[in-house]
Amino acid sequence: MSLRPSLLARLAARTAEREQANLRRRLRTIDHVDGPWLELDGKQLLSFCSNDYLGLAQHPQLIAAFKRVADDEGVGSGSAHLICGHRAEHAALEQALAEWTGRERALLFSTGYMANLGVQQALLSDGDVCVQDKLNHACLLDGAKLSGAELKRYPHGDVAGAARQLASRSTAAALLATDGVFSMDGDMAPLRELATLCTREGATLMVDDAHGLGVLGDDGAGSVAAAGLSPREVPVLMATLGKALGCHGAFVAGSAALIEGLLQSARPYIYTTAMPPALAAAALAAVQLARTESWRRERLNSHIERFRQGAAELGLALMPSSTAIQPLLLGDADTALAAAQMLEQHGFLVSAIRPPTVPAGQARLRITLSATHEEEHVDQLLEALAKLPQHGVPAPHV
């Protein structure tokens, strides 16, 4: 009999360890969605955990655009973009995204994870260095690891730390990659300072703006636009279509040379079926709404201000964030889970974020606000949070 260890048994053991530590993730099925309201296990819950920041996911114009194309051409694209899957709807969406972000071209990917893997695999090689914020999304970290380049991380938001990491490999080709808005903390990267550093050091700056696009900037063009940075200063921009735009998929925007290079070399693009053309049509409608209906951002910002002011009056330990992501740090994973369960009993769905998604001791409630919320919804959540047995712990100094 072979002495080789069983991979499935090892995986089962890891899952059992998660269960024992009360860190096992559990899949729950949402039965129905109506704006900020969800139906779960027969209960109506007010959701404060969705990334539908502008409330576009159920917008009639998106639904109509999807149905129009689906009725005419069906749902699936049937192929990868480079075979016969690239349709007029994809081309129109890419053009609109490039125009919105002020870049020459854009390229669609099926997911944001695939976009980040594809960009870094295409740009980086053995001997290169990729410098990243320690709190970057997992797909940025995975993309660097899979590229063959050396991954060097710096303390969160620490420009001097990023400079030290670049200086340690002063002759290597370098990519500095950062989230624009950090998905678990809700704060923004110091993009202007990082851009200045990259210009000085000859490094290429890449920004993942998954949680900034549609929300930040005068017309919602994102954190890079809000920072007043040019395509020359941020030559690689990635953002998703499944958060503020209420659809699915992602894109990379930049120079014509960058996009042509990705089209030739980014394996997650080349070898993946294109997103449904009906979905691309819906995303195009979302882009147009996000750009023109500035009241959605104004309403969202009003909710953010109202929530933070109310939280301060209650002494809640919110982390420093001016975005739609408002984390309440609770420290202990069991405390965070118990808080989420108590909120659900009071009619609210809020995610408890625990290790390994966040570091040990930094478990939290990840509260997200949306333009679909009413002021009374925000006030009701604050009233429920005030009843928690532990309001939270001071945010760690990083």
Q: Which residues are annotated as a binding site for substrate?
A: 25, 137, 357
CA-based nearest residue to 283, from 102, 107, 96, 71? 96
CA–CA distance, 362 with 319 (Å, rounded to integer):
11
CA–CA distance, 358 with 353 (Å, rounded to integer):
7
CA–CA distance, 326 with 304 (Å, rounded to integer):
8
CA–CA distance, 371 with 324 (Å, rounded to integer):
10
Burial status of residue 90 (CB atoms within 10 A of its CB: 0-12, 13-18, 19 or more): buried
CA–CA distance, 320 with 392 (Å, rounded to integer):
13
Residues 227, 232, 233, 238, CA torsion sign: positive
Secondary structure of 221-278 in the HEC alphabet?
CCHHHHCCCCCCCCCEEEEECCCCCCCCCEEEEECHHHHHHHHHHCHHHHCCECCCHH
Q: Mind telling me the catalytic residues?
A: 183, 211, 243
Residues 356, 23, 48: CA angle, nearest 5 degrees: 80
CA-based nearest residue to 189, from 132, 246, 124? 132
The neighbour count for residue 287, using CB atoms within 10 Å, is 22
For 68, the token pair is 């129009």
- The residue ranges of DSSP E strands in the chain, in sequence order, are 30-34, 37-40, 43-47, 105-109, 129-133, 150-154, 174-179, 204-208, 236-240, 250-254, 325-331, 348-349, 351-353, 363-368
